[in-house]
Every structure is written in structure tokens, then in C-alpha cells.
Amino acid sequence: MDYTHVVQYYETDKMGITHHSNYIRWMEEARVDFLSQIGWDYAKLEAAGIFSPVLNVSCDYKKTTTFSDKVTIRVSVQELRGVKLHLAYEMKNEEGTVVCLATSSHAFLNTDGKPIRLQQEQPGLFAALSSLIEEK
């Protein structure tokens, strides 16, 4: 599922290039949008008592971006196992050139901070995410 971010002036450094830390923020924007697109926005997750902290983030920067560039971010489910979700992000500029490849891993916790086994405790969310796992 795709999300588009327009690079803002404040996201660039003195050289006019997007600062690397912003790509991680864009991943979060795309992830929030992705969850909304599959019917599990953050309000619904929190109402169900589900929290999903980030466990790991990895970025492989391929090409720079600059102010006003449109970056399309495709989010895909790599793996869903036990209490962990692994997502992949492919970021492309308007020409279709990959500018960044990234991954993030997330846990699912209840309001007490204890891990949730989605398949047993939240079968609807588990089914929605499982149906989107991409073959390697």
C-alpha cells in the first residue's frame, strides 16, 4: 500500500538534502496510513488496548531527496510471527527511482505492557496483517 510524502524545507540540511533522520519519520507516517488503509487505525488499536512499540529500524539510503520532492512509500508485510510484525518500506522519487529501502519490527503489547499473541487475542488484526504477507 502506498503513501506519498512531500519533502518539506525544514527536513533538509544546509546542503539542501533531506536529513537522513526524516526517512524514519516518514516510515511512521506511512505505517500509520497503512494501518488505516487496512481498517486498523491507531485509534482502533488503542481502543482495543493494543500498543505497538518499535523494536528495530533499518534504512539503506540509495539516492538523495531535496525540498518539494514527492516520495512514494510502499509498505509491505514481510513477516508476522508470534508477537512480532516485520514491515518493509520501498521509497521512490517521482521518476520511480528507489531512494531508500527500509525495514521496521514491532511488538504488540496490552495496556499492562505484556506481549499479545495476535492470532489468539486479536484474530481480526492477525487476519488483516496475515493476508498481506508478501512472499520473498
Gyration radius of the chain's alpha carbons: 16
Q: Is 136 exposed, middle or buried (0-12, 13-18, 19+ CB in 10 A)?
A: exposed
Tens-place pLDDT, residues 109-127: 999 999 998 999 999 999 9
Residue 135 has a pLDDT of 67
Spatial distance between the Cα atoms of 118 and 106, rounded to a whole number of angstroms: 12
Q: For residues 52 and 85, is the Cβ–Cβ distance under 8 A?
A: yes
Q: Among positive and negative, which fits the CA dihedral 129, 96, 135, 81? A: negative
Q: For residues 12 and 56, is the Cβ–Cβ distance under 8 A?
A: no
Question: Which residues of the chain carry a pLDDT beneath 50?
Answer: none
Residues taking part in catalysis: 13
Closest CA to 58 of 108, 13, 105, 106: 105
State the pTM of this model. 0.93
Residue 59 has a pLDDT of 97
Which H or E element spans position 89?
A: strand 84-92
Domains and CATH numbers, the chain: 2-130 (3.10.129.10)
